[in-house]
Amino acid sequence: MPTQTTRGDAAVAKVFNQIVPPGTETGPNVITRILKTLPNGPGVYRMTGKDSEVLYVGKARSLKKRVQSYARLGGHTNRIARMISATAGLEIITTATETEALLLEANLIKRLKPRFNVILRDDKSFPYILIARDHDAPQIVKHRGARKREGDYFGPFASAGAVNRTINTLQRAFLLRSCSDSYYEARTRPCLLFQIKRCSAPCTSEISPREYEGLVDGAAQFLTGKSEKVKDHLHTLMETASENLEFERAASYRDRLAALAQIQAHQGINPHSFSEADVFAAHSQGGQTCIQVFFFRTAQNWGNRAYFPRADRSLSPEEVLDAFIAQFYDDKPVPKLVLLSHDVPSRRLLEEALTTKAGYKVTVTVPRRGEKREIMEQSLVNSREALERRLAESASQRKLLEGLATAFDLDDAPERIEVYDNSHIQGTSPVGAMIVSGPEGLEKNSYRKFNIKSKDLAPGDDYAMMREVLTRRFSRLLKESQDDNSSAVWPDLVLIDGGAGQLSSAHDVLDELGIDGLRVVGIAKGPDRDAGRERFFIRDRDAFMLPPRDPVLYFVQRLRDEAHRFAIGAHRAKRKKSFHASPLDEVPGVGPARKRALLKHFGSAKAVSRAGLTDLQTVEGVSAHTAQTIYDFFHEQNG
């Protein structure tokens, strides 16, 4: 049957065959039985387990020859042997070329996250600087996502912080506006940014459109690598102003030159032998691999980011890097030059695939000498240091988790801790929150917020709120587990912000759901809410305190404070949204345009609710039928 493909693999998937559906038998015999039916051409294969979980995704120039190597257990690494033993089914997708197979493999690995593949984990999009040209006075902003706005995009930058620093400095150097169009149109006098010399205030005509366009062009030239030309021009203007005794103007040019120098000082190494490249430096230690990626565009260093891909401990840096790069560029623009710290097995194939994807020649190489090699050595130092920091943090985290197991009578150090808290103001905008922590620290992708839905709660009933949150969370977890869903991850420890009452509420929920054996701990604030004097509550055990200055106590405090911070943030966002809510939002048939017309005509939502049927019909865009609907809505509501 045809497979469902995404944009990334639709162009390369030619044929899909489910060769062996997952059955009860696993191991080499399953693979041996289907070898005769496999084609010799290129493609991608997927090994699946008994529960249809995708175990491994691989590519091959010849599917038959590659899969044949798995028809025996001997001669493989422990990782591959475990994978073969667990294999209960096999699926293939044939492609026209091995290059297409490589691109499809990367797409499927990112989408399916198989257990035995190297997985790129931190997959956040990269920020760009956008000079938006969809307005008479172009705006400079940070941008993520699809490039839908008209303008010039510069990037990628390694982090939002790098973009923010660059934009702030560019504002000092080129005085470009960063405000929204609506804010710009509403100005009648210059804002604070003009006063502190961060904007030239085109909104109130403090600068002519022609002069402002010159500033925009200067910023664009600087970001495209023509920094020396821009600096020479500013230097000439400064000297001219000084010769004409216009010292204030000369000082403004001097300050702009200093701002540009500050950007380049933050950038560190700026290459001379190439203008555009991504640098990948891999370092392995302690069973983990760090891949440090540096971004160079327009001969400028636009930052770096460290990645720690999920990979088997037995894999070499070359193997991890080989699998990492194709996934990295699955949804990112490719530069013309890619520099690697190790010569990966698929380098030529990767070069061909990236060239196909980008539409222009891409070179993938390992620098051996000169400036490129110096940059690579510096990148390797960064990679090693980042991995050493991570290993040190992991060791400290593991020690804290072991201390937590001792304090709370757990059999082993917890792999997943869930912390729950509520937030509201006298019962309004109630929100529940869950944060997650584990061996690698806080897992922010797993955070969840719960909008309290029950209408029967007494305002401010924290116990009922906690019961609702835990009921929804663990009911869903039970359902996922019964459906054999691999995403159903149970916590080893649950922390509740509250004392004996909250603990009792939590256990009532778990008892009703038939869940036992889960350690739940209530954390009650000490007298006068003093940090360090918290009391801990566990079922069938007297309340107790941890010793002052105990690292485990500090760790629990940090977890509780993080849950509190997340809950308050969710509550504030909900409350802010409610401030802007209007009764008109709930009226059937009244969209934004009619809502604006009604408010313009009557002045407020309350006035609309009191209006008569005849008055409603006089509003532009409101038909007799809509007027009747609005009238009935408010009179039914008030009746």
Give the pLDDT confidence of 563-597 residue by residue, as tens digits. 999 988 887 887 776 655 667 777 887 888 888 88
Q: Is 524 strand, coil or helix?
A: strand
Q: Which residue has the higher pLDDT, 507 or 16?
A: 507
Mean pLDDT estimate for the chain: 83
| Residue 3: per-residue pLDDT | 34
Instruction: Give the pLDDT mean for 145-164.
Output: 82
What's the pLDDT band for 298 if we cut at 50, 70, 90? confident
Q: Which of 34-43, 57-66, 374-383, 500-509 has the lowest mean pLDDT?
A: 34-43
CB contact at 8 A, 195 and 211: no
Query: Does 19 score more than 70 pLDDT?
Result: no
Q: Is 51 strand, coil or helix?
A: coil
| Residue 528: per-residue pLDDT | 58
- Which class is domain 7-112? alpha beta
CB contact at 8 A, 628 and 613: yes
Most confident of 210-219, 242-251, 475-484, 600-609: 210-219
Q: For 113, list phi and psi in degrees, rounded to 5.
A: 50, 60
Percent of the chain with pLDDT over 90: 26
| Residue 20: per-residue pLDDT | 54
CB contact at 8 A, 222 and 203: no
Query: Does 516 score more than 90 pLDDT?
Result: no
CB contact at 8 A, 49 and 88: yes
Query: Does 7 score more than 50 pLDDT?
Result: no
- In angstroms, the first-to-last Cα distance of the chain is 58
* CA-atom Rg of the chain in angstroms: 31
Which superfamily does CATH assign the domain made up of 583-638 to?
A: 5' to 3' exonuclease, C-terminal subdomain (1.10.150.20)
Of residues 499, 543, 539, the one with CA closest to residue 522: 499
Query: Does 8 score more than 50 pLDDT?
Result: no
Q: Cα–chain-centroid distance for residue 40?
A: 40
Q: For 451, list phi and psi in degrees, rounded to 5.
A: -75, 120
What's the pLDDT band for 487 if we cut at 50, 70, 90? low
Does pTM surpass 0.85? Answer: no
Q: Which residue matches tokens 């929100």?
A: 431
| Residue 16: per-residue pLDDT | 47
Q: Give the C-alpha distances (Å, rounded to integers) separating 253 from 169, 175, 274, 625.
A: 14, 11, 30, 64
CB contact at 8 A, 146 and 129: no
The dihedral built from the CA positions of residue 333, 336, 341 and 342, taken in this order, carries a sign that is: positive
Where along the chain do the CATH 1.10.150.20 domains lie?
A: 583-638
Q: Which of 92-96, 153-157, 236-240, 542-546 has the lowest mean pLDDT?
A: 236-240
Of residues 614, 619, 618, the one with CA closest to residue 631: 614
Q: How far apart are CA 447 and CA 564, in angstroms?
A: 12
Q: How far apart are CA 366 and CA 377, in angstroms?
A: 11
For residue 140, what are the β-bridge partners? 131
What's the pLDDT band for 283 if we cut at 50, 70, 90? very high
What's the pLDDT band for 405 if we cut at 50, 70, 90? very high
What's the pLDDT band for 520 if we cut at 50, 70, 90? very high
| Residue 11: per-residue pLDDT | 38
Where along the chain do the CATH 3.40.1440.10 domains lie?
A: 7-112
| Residue 426: per-residue pLDDT | 61
Sequence-distant (6+) residues with CB within 8 A of 599 are: 584, 605, 608
Cis peptide bond upstream of 156, omega within 30: yes
| Residue 165: per-residue pLDDT | 79
CB contact at 8 A, 501 and 507: no
| Residue 124: per-residue pLDDT | 67
The yes or no reply on domain 417-578 and CATH 3.40.47.10 is no
Alpha helices in 268-335 (DSSP H): 317-328
Enter the CATH code of domain 277-388: 3.30.420
Where along the chain do the CATH 3.30.420.340 domains lie?
A: 417-578
